[in-house]
Structure 1
Amino acid sequence: MKYREIAKKLKKLGCQEIPRRSGGSHRKWYNPKSNRIVAIPDWGNKDLKLGTLRQIIRQLDLDWEEFKHK
């Protein structure tokens, strides 16, 4: 799954992207419900590995099944 697809799903689940202050290939996301922040790689057209994606969802304290179906 590409970064843009992940970003759309996270927004639907109530997460917010934290504005960038500098360059780099990662973007920070915040889950206000769990008060957690996680960095997500933005590799353009390259897919994130499933294990990486599952770890991001776990760190944001979101449900994997709910994320898949959004």
Structure 2
Amino acid sequence: MKSYKAKEVVSILKRDGWYLTKTTGSHHHFKHPTKPGKVTVPYRTESEDIKIATLKSILKQAMIDLKEV
């Protein structure tokens, strides 16, 4: 699986309809108008790679199929 930068993960979420609700330290919190829950993305710098396990967890929480990415 390809690694993704924090900026790319945020872009994937926004394309799916997620929007930023708040930022706490280095974490960005997103909500969706129709999907339940929230998704948190660690965002220390735009160019930082998100770990594969963290990416899978983010996509699972966002109900985004890995094949869609």
Shared fold by TM > 0.5? yes
How much does 1:43 deviate? Answer: 2.2
> For residues 1-70 of structure 1, what are the structure 2 equivalents within 5 Å?
1-20=4-23, 23-44=24-45, 45-66=47-68, 68=69
Distance 2:66 2:35 in 1: 15
Query: Counterpart of 1:47 in structure 2: which amino acid?
Result: D
Which one has a larger percent strand, Structure 1 or Structure 2? Answer: 2
Give every structure 1 segment of 4 or more consecutive aligned residues whose post-TM-superposition deviation is greater than 4 Å: none
The normalised TM-score by structure 1 is: 0.78
- List alignment gaps of at least 5 residues for structure 2: none
- Percent identity between matched residues is 29
Alignment root-mean-square deviation, CA: 1.4
The normalised TM-score by structure 2 is: 0.79
Distance 1:62 1:8 in 2: 13
